[in-house]
Amino acid sequence: MRFMLLMIPHGYESAAPGTVPDDVERVGSMMAFNESLQKAGVLIGCEGLHPPSMGARVSFPGGKPKVVDGPFAEAKEVLGGYWLIDVASRAEAIEWASRCPGSENEVIEIRQVQEVEDFSPEVQDVASEFTSMQQTLKK
Query: pLDDT digit string (tens) for 17-76?
Result: 988 888 899 899 999 999 999 999 999 999 999 999 999 999 999 999 999 998 887 878
Cβ pair 127, 116 in contact under 8 A = yes
Position 54 scores a pLDDT of: 94
Share above pLDDT 70 across residues of the chain, in percent, rounded to a whole number: 96
Q: Which of 4, 3, 7 is nearest to 103 (CA)?
A: 7
pLDDT, tens digit, 9 for 90 and up, residues 70-126: 888 787 889 999 999 999 999 999 999 999 999 999 999 999 998 888 888 888 888
Position 23 scores a pLDDT of: 87
Position 120 scores a pLDDT of: 85
Could you give the dihedral angle defined by the CA atoms of residues 50, 53, 56 and 60, in that order, rounded to the nearest 10 degrees?
130
Position 91 scores a pLDDT of: 98
Would you say the C-alpha torsion 125, 128, 130, 134 has a positive or negative sign?
positive
Under the banding of pLDDT at 50, 70 and 90, the label for residue 137 is: low
Position 138 scores a pLDDT of: 56
